[in-house]
Structure 1
Amino acid sequence: MPLPIIQYVSSTYCDKPTDDQLMAKLLLNLTDFINFAAYIHHKVLVDGQSDMVDLVVLAVQLEARLTAWEHSVMGKRTWRFECKVATLSLDACYKGRFHLYSDVQTARIWSYYRWARILLSEILLNFIKQCPQSVATGLARLKIGNGGAAMQSSKPKTEGTDTTNPTETFRLEALRTIRRCAEETFINNPTFWRHPCIKLSEHAEVASPLPVYGVNGGMGVAGLVPTLFHLQVAACAPGILREDLQWALSVIDTVWGYLGLGQALSLANKMRAHDERLQMQSRGLASTDDSWPSHGK
């Protein structure tokens, strides 16, 4: 995003209504995340170097900011959403569930938030795998673990984890974040696209209201593309079950089959390649040493 726009948002959002302020804060956080991800994508990671520790600290701080944003909006009516049980086909509704939002545009914002949380958690997992010494040093600098109070709220403890090892606790919580955000992404799918197996007369069951100002929240073909990317990122994230990947792949295949959307075919092919690589790894026929998330390859 052009720097003048970011500077304008940064300098003016405090004067806006509360909901607009929250959207602006998320925009700024996502901008920082995208810039960070773009920078490290082309950087050679060397464990133990001071600049690597700095990157770990920046990643953890970004994660804490996104977590704080989520906590700040959950109590507000506009941002709350409900997980409901659907009576429609499981092909369209992940495990028979769907989300109901205050409006479609709010659902779209949540979708981008979950996308960023998944990708940032993948980066943190990669740091832990490739540069464990730097991660341990970075967590110690931020006083995470070992009784430190700073930023403890960014990663709540998971029952059964080894809280004596801050790096391992952080790794398990990153996987938990991925799983939660991925499931919410799958459940969210009917909000943005009516699967052909859902009749028009049945769609009202899973539909969130349109925004009061008349914008359709990106429900057209152009708005469908981000939904497909978010599905692919969620399905190919670490720790996601193969059956969930297959469910998301079926949705994207259906988009390709019914709409002929080229992006859908491209993403589906990447997902199949990812699935094939995982199956080969499980049989010991391929290396498990991936430095970067495979969904972008």
Structure 2
Amino acid sequence: MFTQLRNTILISCIQRQAHVPSTISEFSERAALLRSDTHSYTDRLAAILIKLSNLRADISAKYIVDDVEILSAAQAIESELTTWVITLPQKWAYHTFEVPERDFVPAANKAGLYPYDGRYHIYADFYISHAWNNYRAASIIANEIILGQLHRLSTQSATLSFSSESRVRCRSIRATQRQLALDICHSVPFHLDLVDAEEVQRSRPLGSVGGFILLYPLFVAACVYGTAHPVGKWVIDCYKLIRRTHGTEEALALVDILNGRLTSEGRDWAQEDPDIVEQSNVNEGKVEEVTEVSTDGNSH
């Protein structure tokens, strides 16, 4: 139950650029002493997400205004996220499968949504896949803060502005964001049981769990590319499928938000300052009602 509640609060705070209540950090530290090794990795990830949310809140409230300080804080968070991935045990590894469209056999009631790029992931369980997507969404947002600060600093320095090294770095960061967004998309068939594969059938979610836990990461993935890009269009199709098969009204609300907030196509930093941080944040609590459900259907 605590893990479920914490996930809901953390995602809400990140979306609203709000500080995470101190009690969440305190209870996380206490829970970490009593829980299994599997939970220890999600507890570590949660601690990083708390830092990310608090940084966004500090920036929004102008508690931090120095560009170098913000850049340093965001880079530290991204470094922690990278370390989290590197130290994961083998059980957390996932496998990528490819299926040509001509050979694609959709699962019952899931016709019409082919896995993006014909690829899909298989994880050990939904608890692990959910944690991976939380990591991906967090890394996308942390990297967008980094991109924003690099762009602002470039406008203050003629040397940095024309630095080929700086531009290469920004393109590399943007490529990383795009790959993370694609990885979120590739996790969808596992969550929604889109493919008629033995690996997925063995680990299918209970009830509407698979759809619920995809709402937030899919939103962030769509923000990376924009709704005119095939990825953005595919994400919208996912939301419509989640609404149709799981009865999740929040999915259609997110479709409206995406169509209303995103530009017609993705933007490159080299052309314009892309602010995914602002795009992925929804004001006035419009996405706060997204419900987090434990990934195995039980309380954690």
TM-score by length of 2: 0.69
Deviation for aligned residue 1:258: 4.1
Deviation for aligned residue 1:170: 3.0
In structure 1, the partner of 2:46 is: 27
Match of 1:98 among 81, 97, 120: 120
Matched residue type, 1:171: C
Cα distance change of structure 1 residues 135 and 256 upon mapping to structure 2, 3 Å threshold:
farther
Whether contact under 8 Å (1:102, 1:208) holds in the other structure is no
Whether contact under 8 Å (1:79, 1:106) holds in the other structure is yes
Structure 1: where are the runs of 5+ without partners? 140-161, 211-215
Identity %: 22
Matched residue type, 1:180: Q
1:67 to 2:82 alignment = yes
Distance across 1 between alignment mates of 2:200 and 2:23: 39
Match of 1:246 among 214, 230, 233: 233
- When Rg is computed on C-alpha atoms for both structures, the one with the higher figure is 1
Whether contact under 8 Å (1:81, 1:99) holds in the other structure is yes
Match of 1:54 among 59, 66, 69: 69
In structure 2, the partner of 1:120 is: 142
Whether contact under 8 Å (1:192, 1:224) holds in the other structure is yes
In structure 1, the partner of 2:200 is: 206
Q: CA RMSD in A?
A: 3.7
In structure 1, the partner of 2:170 is: 171
In structure 1, the partner of 2:92 is: 79
SS at match of 1:247: helix
Match of 2:62 among 12, 23, 43: 43
Cα distance change of structure 1 residues 12 and 266 upon mapping to structure 2, 3 Å threshold:
closer
Deviation for aligned residue 1:29: 0.7
Whether contact under 8 Å (2:192, 2:210) holds in the other structure is no
Whether contact under 8 Å (2:92, 2:124) holds in the other structure is yes
1:273 to 2:273 alignment = no
Cα distance change of structure 1 residues 280 and 64 upon mapping to structure 2, 3 Å threshold:
closer
Distance across 2 between alignment mates of 1:12 and 1:256: 34
Cα distance change of structure 1 residues 102 and 281 upon mapping to structure 2, 3 Å threshold:
closer
Distance across 2 between alignment mates of 1:239 and 1:174: 17
Cα distance change of structure 1 residues 239 and 65 upon mapping to structure 2, 3 Å threshold:
farther
Distance across 1 between alignment mates of 2:266 and 2:203: 44
SS at match of 2:186: helix
TM-score by length of 1: 0.70
Map Cα deviations across residues 213-272 of structure 1 (whole Å, 9 max, x no partner).
xxx5xx543663331221121022158980111111111122234444221111111222
Deviation for aligned residue 1:289: 6.0
User: After TM superposition, which residue ranges in structure 1, 4 or more long, deviate above 6 angstroms?
Assistant: 133-137
Distance across 2 between alignment mates of 1:52 and 1:66: 21
Distance across 2 between alignment mates of 1:84 and 1:135: 46
In structure 2, the partner of 1:88 is: 105
Cα distance change of structure 1 residues 289 and 27 upon mapping to structure 2, 3 Å threshold:
closer
Deviation for aligned residue 1:14: 6.8
Cα distance change of structure 1 residues 233 and 209 upon mapping to structure 2, 3 Å threshold:
same
In structure 2, the partner of 1:183 is: 182
Structure 2: where are the runs of 5+ without partners? 1-19, 107-111, 283-300
Whether contact under 8 Å (2:229, 2:266) holds in the other structure is no
In structure 1, the partner of 2:281 is: 296
In structure 2, the partner of 1:132 is: 154
**How many matched pairs?**
250
Between 1 and 2, higher relative CO (CA 8 Å, sep ≥ 6) is seen in 2
